Amino acid sequence: MIIEYDTKYNEQIKDLLVELQNYLIDIDDWHTQIMLPEYREKIFKMDMNKVKKQNGKIYLSVENNIVLGLIIGIVEKKDEIDKLTNDCAKSGLVLELVVKNNARNNGIGKSLLEKMEVYFKSINCQRINIEVFGPNKKGLNFYKKNHYIIRDIIVSKKI
């Protein structure tokens, strides 16, 4: 069942954010991804602040009081470069989308993403952006299956 954010799930949300970061660390062949001891509390606090300040939403997939997945979305802020170089259409930004490892491939991620899409559409967003870590091939494939296309790419080189 998909529900809106409820504070009683804060600790489980933090656990999911840690699970996501551990996954990114595991797939990072350059070993640049890290997780400092304060990550769990700080990332949660930063995401919550963005949700409050940027007209955001959090949806949870919950079964028997266990959070199986979450999605956090906000309305993107436009900076001076954006204003000079693009149409600045109102855009939603998915900050986090994570499903517990043992609950994947059951449609939870798709349901959460669709719920966030409905929210963004209801507040007149014209686009949704999601940053995906390059080595996250599973994530990229998931978004492609859900009709997202690559629009921006950052290329890197070790020196």
For residue 116, give every residue at least 6 positions away whose Cβ sits within 8 Å of its Cβ, in sequence order, or none.
Answer: 57, 59, 71, 73, 92, 94, 128
pLDDT at position 8 is 98
Would you say 57 and 122 are in contact if contact means Cβ atoms under 8 Å apart? no
Q: Which residues contact 89 (CB under 8 A, 6 or more apart)?
A: 125, 126, 127
Structure tokens at 133: 């870590």
Rounded to whole angstroms, how far apart are CA atoms 4 and 71? 10
| Sequence-distant (≥ 6) Cβ neighbours of residue 62 within 8 angstroms | 1, 3, 9, 68
What's the whole-model pTM score?
Answer: 0.94
pLDDT tens, the chain, 159 aa long: 999 999 999 999 999 999 999 999 999 999 999 999 999 999 999 999 999 999 999 999 999 999 999 999 999 998 888 778 878 789 999 999 999 999 999 999 999 999 999 999 999 999 999 999 999 999 999 999 999 999 989 999 999
pLDDT score, position 85: 83
For the chain, give every domain's residue range: 2-145
CA dihedral 103, 106, 112, 113 (to 10 degrees): 120
Regarding the domain delimited by 2-145, which CATH topology (the fold level of the hierarchy) does it fall under? Aminopeptidase (3.40.630)
